[in-house]
Chain A
Amino acid sequence: MTDFLFFIEVVVAGLLAGTMYSLVALGFVLIYKASSTFNFAQGAMVFFAVLAFVGFMELGLPFVAAFFVTIVLMGLVGFFTERLVLKPLMNQSEDTLLMATIGLGFVLEGLAQAAWGVEVRRLDLGIGDFPIPWIIDSTGLFISALDLTAGLVAAVLIIGLALLFKYTKMGLGLRAVADDAGAASSIGIPLGNIMLLVWTAAGIVALVAGMMWGARAGVQFALVDLALKALPVLIIGGFSSIPGAIVGGLIIGASEKVLEVYVGPFFGGGIEGWAPYVLAIFFLLRRPEGLFGEKIIRRV
């Protein structure tokens, strides 16, 4: 195999792995857009959702039923979060909300472990994490079926969300709330319902992200740490932009793989662990609002 082909393969694998980061980041963006809250609990939601899903499957529910029961459960999580955490903290500073969502993350992690235990579970989606033969035959590239599926699922989710925002009444309401929550509620848009919708949507995104990650690495606590990597993705893409979450994920995924393969060996490997954060710092120093974010203007 030529070096160039290998490089392409590394980049493609990185891009596809990056879509998994994008999926986690997407949940952050949804909630940030609607309520200007950095939902630090998104990683915990990924863990909670997929652990619940696997738990329901173990109880004997079929795949589809487990999927929908988990979505209802995530809706409940959203409902209680809105009532018990967000509402009492309305109009507080972003930092206060951020700390509260860190607390929320701990609650969700604890509850998930109390309900379903700590052991690593296998999740079989029926999609193997191995190269697809016909792609090897036609192009010589080794591309994992799971990566490709994750990419497709991400694309479907994003198109679905974009349609929801653009063409439904709920979506219009959501954009109004994102623009100016006070004004939106004064003309009668039900803030509570919108928040519930957004948190449920973020819950669904979390579940899908968790299923993709879980199929690769097993359903386990380490998912929470993996989800932390969505943070540099958001910094690169911008916190309020859905395309940003996707592009950011792709950039992080590709650059982390390229760095690991070509630079990593000089340092004994493992630079994947911090490279995304350092990349994010460079972005922060050049363009703090991210590639697609709105310019941050602060006034006294």
Chain B
Amino acid sequence: MNTNVVFMGYTRSDLTNLVVVLALALLVIPLTVESDYWYASILIPWLCLALAAVGQQIVMGYAGQLALGAAGFMAAGAFACFNLILRVPYMPFPVALALSGLIAAAFGVLFGLPSLRVRGIYLMVATLASQFFIVWMIDKFGWFKNYDTSGIITAQDIVIFGKTFTTPLEMYLVVVVVVAVLTIFAVNMTRGSTGRSWMAVRDMDIAAESMGISLLRTKLQAFAISAFFCGVAGALFAFTYLKSLEPVAFDIKLSFKILFMVILGGLGTISGAFIGAAFILLFPVVLNSLGNNVFHGAIDATIISAAEQVVFGVLIIVFMIYEPLGMAKLWENVKQRFNFKRAPTAALSKTQAT
């Protein structure tokens, strides 16, 4: 047992981390970073995709259900948010955001139903159905797109309490607050009985069931919450990063990206979702600037994007072989090497890759 618990199961170092991260996100970054590029092209998409990765993490890393349809739920959330603001008078943005998460969650429950019968690749195929179906539905029925024929719809302004959030910095603040609240929520769930049931189902579902954990409830709950996170992430992604709504933005490639964030970042840790998202998002940027600045465009863009794919693929194989718990575990190892007085945290040492 951890003896230095100070507040609701959290240790002093947990709370220090929380304060440091929040201070960094809400004070240090807004005061020091001035370039809009950083907000609009790196921080905002990173936080949005990390939130979706947290959703993927919940269903895959914690509940052990191999799902591949995060982008479908993101699309559901994004278009739900668009339609709520469009059709409901005086709909405040935060409420629309929460409702679109709930709508995505309803889809999550629907497409999570097969998980009660199947697992592994079978489940993956079933969840692919959600990916293709949701994107097709939005694309085919004009109502979802407000009968816009151009295919790209501009997202509405974000208005909260009469204030319109337009500049990249303001949008960044909106995203940070939403992501922070939901992440704390996620950490709480994973540390509480909800998360324990997910992990029990992941590690051995039959054993979990015989211990009185309802598989139906636990699995569907994981799918619902995962889809909720993805839905909110999708709405934020569309409203703050893309600033437009188009079904193509949420294709299967995005689902794979989010899957990779979770695998490379580390299965079964919330921080892994953030680390993985940062890596997947930043690596192409670094590779591109290398191509432009070091080789001065001597390397074809095709080669660069192909190299990116090869590196992601190789990294996945390497991590699967040598460190199935991903970059979060590597980071933990480094920390422990420099900080061997402190005992390893219970949650991490017990986490197993699925």
- A residues within 8 Å of B by Cβ? 38, 40, 84-85, 88-89, 92-96, 98-100, 102-111, 113-114, 117-118, 225, 228, 231-232, 234-235, 239, 267-271, 273-274, 277-278, 280-281, 284-285, 288, 298-300
Asked whether A110 and B307 contact (CB < 8 A) given A99-B316, A285-B117, the answer is yes
Contact B320 A273 (CB under 8 A): no
Interface of B is mostly: helix
Give chain A residues whose Cβ lies under 8 Å from the Cβ of B305. 113
Bound together, the chains give a CA A108 to CA B122 distance in angstroms of 23
- Measured between C-beta atoms, what is the minimum distance from B186 to chain A in Å? 22
The answer to whether B351 has its CB under 8 Å from any CB of chain A is no
The answer to whether B308 has its CB under 8 Å from any CB of chain A is yes
- Measured between C-beta atoms, what is the minimum distance from B175 to chain A in Å? 29
The answer to whether B33 has its CB under 8 Å from any CB of chain A is no
The answer to whether B129 has its CB under 8 Å from any CB of chain A is yes
Contact B140 A104 (CB under 8 A): no
Give chain B residues whose Cβ lies under 8 Å from the Cβ of A285. 113-114, 117
Q: List 16 A-B contacts (CB under 8 A).
A: A38-B120, A40-B121, A93-B354, A94-B121, A98-B66, A100-B321, A102-B313, A107-B317, A108-B313, A113-B305, A113-B306, A228-B252, A235-B125, A271-B136, A281-B129, A285-B114
8 Å CB interface, B250-273 against A: 252, 256, 259, 263
The answer to whether B312 has its CB under 8 Å from any CB of chain A is yes
The answer to whether B40 has its CB under 8 Å from any CB of chain A is no
Residue of B121, B126, B311 with most chain A CB atoms under a 10 A cut-off: B121
Choose the segment among B47-55, B82-90, B203-211, B236-244 that binds chain A (4+ C-beta atoms closer than 8 Å).
B203-211
Interface of A is mostly: helix
Asked whether A284 and B204 contact (CB < 8 A) given A96-B353, A113-B302, the answer is no
Give chain B residues whose Cβ lies under 8 Å from the Cβ of A107. 309-310, 313-314, 317
Contact A280 B316 (CB under 8 A): no
Contact B121 A231 (CB under 8 A): yes
Contact B313 A94 (CB under 8 A): no
Contact A85 B317 (CB under 8 A): yes
Contact A111 B306 (CB under 8 A): yes
Give chain A residues whose Cβ lies under 8 Å from the Cβ of B10. none
Q: Out of A96, A108, A109, A269, name the residue touching B324 (CB < 8 Å).
A: A96
Bound together, the chains give a CA A244 to CA B81 distance in angstroms of 43
Contact A277 B310 (CB under 8 A): no
Contact A103 B312 (CB under 8 A): yes
Asked whether A103 and B210 contact (CB < 8 A) given A96-B353, A280-B125, A280-B129, the answer is no
Other A-B pairs beyond A85-B321, A231-B121, A299-B206, 16, CB < 8 Å: A84-B317, A88-B321, A100-B321, A102-B256, A103-B315, A106-B309, A107-B309, A110-B311, A113-B306, A270-B136, A273-B132, A278-B129, A278-B133, A280-B126, A281-B126, A285-B117
Bound together, the chains give a CA A286 to CA B20 distance in angstroms of 52
Give chain B residues whose Cβ lies under 8 Å from the Cβ of A235. 122, 125
Contact A103 B313 (CB under 8 A): yes
Contact A284 B126 (CB under 8 A): yes
Q: Out of A105, A231, A239, A271, name the residue touching B313 (CB < 8 Å).
A: A105
Asked whether A228 and B128 contact (CB < 8 A) given A103-B313, A107-B313, A300-B204, the answer is yes
Give chain B residues whose Cβ lies under 8 Å from the Cβ of A231. 121, 124-125, 128
Closest to A118 in B: B302
Q: Out of B122, B126, B128, B206, name the residue touching A300 (CB < 8 Å).
A: B206
Closest to A278 in B: B129
The answer to whether B8 has its CB under 8 Å from any CB of chain A is no
8 Å CB interface, B89-128 against A: 113-114, 117-118, 120-122, 124-126, 128
Bound together, the chains give a CA A113 to CA B235 distance in angstroms of 33
Contact A114 B306 (CB under 8 A): yes
Give chain A residues whose Cβ lies under 8 Å from the Cβ of B132. 273-274, 277
Bound together, the chains give a CA A88 to CA B313 distance in angstroms of 16
Give chain A residues whose Cβ lies under 8 Å from the Cβ of B321. 85, 88-89, 100
The 9 closest A-B pairs by CB, nearest first: A103-B316, A106-B313, A110-B309, A277-B129, A107-B313, A110-B310, A114-B306, A274-B132, A113-B306
Give chain A residues whose Cβ lies under 8 Å from the Cβ of B303. 114
Bound together, the chains give a CA A298 to CA B66 distance in angstroms of 18
Closest to B303 in A: A114
Bound together, the chains give a CA A172 to CA B120 distance in angstroms of 29
Contact B302 A277 (CB under 8 A): no
Q: Out of A96, A108, A228, A298, name the residue touching B320 (CB < 8 Å).
A: A96
